[in-house]
Amino acid sequence: MTTLDKKLDRRSFLKVSALAGGGMMLSFSWLAGCKPTPEQALELPKEWFELNSYIKIGENGAVTLFSPNPEFGSNVKTSMPMILADELEVDWKMVMVEQADFWPERFQRQFTGGSQGIRQGWTPLRTAGATARQMLVNAAAQTWKVPATEITSSAGVLEHKASGKKAGYGEMASLAATMEVPEEVKLKDPKDFKIIGTSKKNVDITSIVTGKPLFGIDKKVEGMKYAAIVHPPAFGMKLKSLDASSVLSMSGIQDAFAINIFKEDYARNFFDTATFPEMVAIVGNSTWEVLQAKKALKVEWENAPESSFMMSGRNGQPSLAKIPAGLESTEVHKAKMADYLTKPGNVLRRDGDPEAAFKKAAKVIEKTYTAPFLAHNTMEPVNCFANVTADQAEIYGPTQAPEFIMGALSSTLGLPKEKISIKLARMGGGFGLRAYSHHMVEAAVISQKVGAPIKMVYTREDDMTYGIYRPSYSATYRAALDENNNLLALHVKAGGVPETPIHPNRFPAGAIDNYLAEGWQIESNITIGAFRAPRSNFIAAAEQSFLDELAEVMGKDPIEYRLELLKRAETNPVGENNDYDAKRYAGVLELVREKSKWSNPPAGVHRGVSAYFCHNSYVAEVVDTVIRDNKPVVEKVYAAVDCGIVINPDASINMGEGAIVDGIGNAFFGELAFKDGVPNKTNFDKYRMIRQKEAPKAIEVHFVNSKEDPTGLGEPFFPPVFAALANSLYKATGKRYYEQPFAPQLEMQNLKM
C-alpha cells in the first residue's frame, strides 16, 4: 500500500461560491487540501458499515479487511486480505488490515498451522469478498432503479454504463449493510484476478521496523505485575515442596506459589500438551526482580511416578493417556531404537509379497537413518498477558491455535467460554511450538491468583527445557534387487520417541509392486509436538537419501530414477490409497532439473537433489555445495514448487527462502540430547543455530504455473532440503550421511564447520 501525496494544492482547499445578490465568496478547508494516507483515511470516516465479519467500509470508501488467522511470519495477515480485496473489487491502496481477535462465531478456523490457512480459507474468504461486492451492487441497483446485472464494479467504484451513473463503495455502504445477504454469489475466474498473484508488501512492515507494539511481550497496562515460572529441572520429576518465604522479602516480590493448569476432571485435547502442569510462579514488580527471585527460590523436586490423564478423542470418545516414570537418557533411547529394528513393527501398508521378493533377491541394500530431538527456539520468548477478574478474562499473547486452548482456560478458570477474550498478538516465530498454548493458561491462573493483570515471560532456558520438541527418530530402509539391479521390493521400518514418522501412503508407495511400511514407537515422558512439517521433516530426509543411494547402485541419474518411479505411479499405480498426484510430483522434478541445469553444474560444484510431497504441495530442491578452504559451503539452492495458485509471489519466495535456510541449519547443527531427564543444551551458547555466513549464497524459487486452488507453503519447502544437502555432501566428500546433524561427522573427516 502506497502513501498518497500530502502536499497542499491551493485549488483543492479554496472554494468559490456565487452570492445571491451578486459577487462571490471564497471559503477554504485545510482538510480538503490534504490528500490523506490510507491510514488517515481509515480514521476520517464518520461512520463504518459492516458488510460481513471480514469487511467494513467507511462512507468515504476506506475499507478495513480483517485477517482472521494468527500471524507468525507466514504473511497470512497480508495474503488473506488480498483474497478478500480481489473478490471485493477494491483498490488495494484504500485497504487497511486489522488482526481479528479470536471469535469462532464469526470466523472459520482461526488456526495458523499445518500450512492449511490459505488452503482452507480460500473459498470462505473469496465468498465473503464476493458477497460484500454483490450487496454493494444490489444497493446501487435499488438506488438507481436499474437491474443489478447491468452494474459493474472495479477499484471500489460502482458503475451503470447505460445511464452514466457512478458511485464509490462508500456512498452505497450504509444501504448495502442493510441488504439481505445473497444466498449465492459468483466468484471470479482466476484469469480475472487483479490482486491475487501480485506482490504486496507485508501490511505490518512499517510497524515492525519502527518498533510499534505488535507482540505480546509489548503489552503494558496500569497496575500490571510481572511473573516468571519455575518448573522441574528434569523430565520425570515433579514438585515436592516450596519455601515461598525464601524470596518474599526480596525487593519487588509480591508472591510465590504453586500452580496447576489442568483440573483433574478435564479431558485434554491434542494441543493441551504441557510437560509440567504443576510448577511454581513468582510475581513481582519487574521482570528483573522476579528473575532474581528465581535464582534464590528454595524449592524441592522429586521423581514422578507413572501417571495418566483423560484425552478427548476426535471421534468424541475419551481415551486414557499414560506418562511413564523415569529419568530418560538419549543413550538409552538409542539402544531401544536399535532393538526395535530387530523386531517386527506395526504393519502400516503392504503391497504385493515383499517377504517373498526379499527371499529371492540377488542383492539387498539396507541403511538406517537417525535424527535427534530439536528445540523450536522461536526468536520471541514464550510470553502472555492475562487479566482475570471474578467474572471475565482477557488474554493477549502469541498463539497459533486459540480455539484449542479455550477449553482448558474455561475449565481451569471456572469461567464460561463466552466470558474469556483471546486477543491475537503477532508472533515472533511459531514453527508449531505456539500451537500448544499452555503459557496462556499459566498466565491466566497467575493473574486469577494475585487478582491483578500480569505479564509472564519465559527465559530462553525456560523455553528450551520445557519440552514440546521435535521427536527423535530412526528409520531403516531395505531394497531387494535382482541380478540386473532391478528393484524387486522396498521395506521401510521407522519409529521414534515417542511416535513413528511414517506416512504410509506417500511416495514411493504406489510405485513399487512389493512394498512394506512398518512403524513403532517408544513411550516417553519427554513431551513432543508439531515442528515445521511434522514427521515429514525426518522421513523425507531418510527416504530421499536412500533413493539417491539406490539410484547410484542401479547406475541411474537420481532425477531420472525418481521420474521413472513416478511414471509407474501415474500410469499403473499399485494400490488405491496413494495420497499424491504423480504427474504433479514429476512436474516439480522436471522444473528443478531445467532451472538448475542439472546435468551441467559449474566446475567444482557438487549437486544433490530431493523431492517431497506434504501439506498438499510438491517441492523439489537441488543443493549446490563446494569445498572451499577445507569447508563445505552451500553455494546455491534451486527450488521448484507446485502449490496451486500463488497469492503473493514475493512473500511466497521469502517463505521458501526462510524454510530452506532453516532446514540447512537444522541438518548441519540441530541437536538436543538428554542425560537423566535433563537436556544438554539450554541456550544459544551450546545450541548451535545457522549463522548468516553459513546460509546459501543464493536461492532460486520457481513456481509451477497452476490454476489449482492454493495448497500449503510454509512447511513443504522444509523437508526436501535435508536430503538434498546430504546428497550433495556425498558428492563433495565421498561419504554418505545417515545421522543428523551432519557437522560432527564432517569434523571427523577433518572438514571445518
Straight-line distance from the first to the last Cα atom of the chain, in angstroms, rounded to the nearest whole number: 43
Average pLDDT over residues 33-61: 72
Check if the beta carbon of residue 719 is closer than 8 Å to that of residue 536.
Answer: yes
The set of residues, in sequence order, having a beta carbon less than 8 Å from that of 132 and lying 6+ positions away, is: 51, 52, 54, 55, 57, 88, 176
pLDDT of 107 reads 87
pLDDT of 168 above 80: yes
Integer Cα distance of 215 and 442 in angstroms: 18
Q: Take residue 339 and report the three cell numbers written for it.
A: 532393538
pLDDT of 49 reads 87
pLDDT of 147 above 60: yes
The cell 519455575 sits on which residue?
Answer: 230
In single-letter form, the type of residue at position 310 comes to M
Average pLDDT over residues 650-679: 97
Give residue-wise pLDDT tens across range 535-556.
999 999 999 999 999 999 999 9
pLDDT of 29 above 70: no
pLDDT of 59 reads 87
Sign of CA dihedral 34, 39, 40, 44: positive
* Structural Rg of the chain based on CA atoms: 29
Residue 216: phi, psi to the nearest 5? -60, -35
Band the pLDDT of 24: cuts 50, 70, 90.
very low
Integer Cα distance of 416 and 422 in angstroms: 13
pLDDT of 237 above 70: yes
Q: Take residue 696 and report the three cell numbers written for it.
A: 546459501
Band the pLDDT of 44: cuts 50, 70, 90.
low
Lowest mean pLDDT among 87-91, 315-319, 417-421, 476-480: 315-319
Query: Global pTM?
Result: 0.92
pLDDT of 157 above 70: yes
Band the pLDDT of 108: cuts 50, 70, 90.
confident
pLDDT of 183 reads 87
Count Cα neighbours of 46 within 13 Å in the Cβ-side half-sphere.
Answer: 2
Integer Cα distance of 539 and 474 in angstroms: 9
pLDDT of 375 above 70: yes
The set of residues, in sequence order, having a beta carbon less than 8 Å from that of 398 and lying 6+ positions away, is: 70, 72, 215, 216, 380, 382, 383, 384, 425, 426, 427, 428, 430, 434
Integer Cα distance of 88 and 55 in angstroms: 9
Write down how long the chain is: 753
- Omega into 498 within 30° of 0, i.e. cis? yes
pLDDT-above-90 percentage for the chain: 87
Residue 743 burial (CB count, 10 A)? 18
Check if the beta carbon of residue 258 is closer than 8 Å to that of residue 242.
Answer: yes
Band the pLDDT of 40: cuts 50, 70, 90.
low
Band the pLDDT of 21: cuts 50, 70, 90.
very low
pLDDT of 288 reads 96
Average pLDDT over residues 24-49: 51
Integer Cα distance of 277 and 261 in angstroms: 5
Give residue-wise pLDDT tens across range 333-344.
999 999 998 899
pLDDT of 31 above 60: no
The cell 501439506 sits on which residue?
Answer: 615
Q: Could you give the domains of the chain?
A: 1-35 (no CATH), 40-194 (3.30.365.10), 216-309+382-457 (3.30.365.10), 341-361+366-372+469-748 (3.30.365.10)
Q: Where are the alpha helices (DSSP H) in 574-618?
A: 582-596
Who wins on pLDDT, 180 or 8? 180
Integer Cα distance of 623 and 302 in angstroms: 49
Burial degree of 150 (CB within 10 A; 0-12, 13-18, 19+): middle
Check if the beta carbon of residue 509 is closer than 8 Å to that of residue 568.
Answer: no
- Omega into 741 within 30° of 0, i.e. cis? yes
In single-letter form, the type of residue at position 182 comes to P
Integer Cα distance of 711 and 647 in angstroms: 10
Report in angstroms the alpha-carbon separations of 536 from 113, 207, 334, 614, 722.
14, 35, 21, 7, 11
pLDDT of 19 above 80: no
Instruction: For 271-410, list the strands marked E by DSSP.
Output: 278-284, 298-303, 307-311, 319-323, 346-351, 363-371, 383-388, 393-397
Rounded to the nearest integer, the mean pLDDT of the chain is 92
Lowest mean pLDDT among 38-42, 215-219, 593-597: 38-42
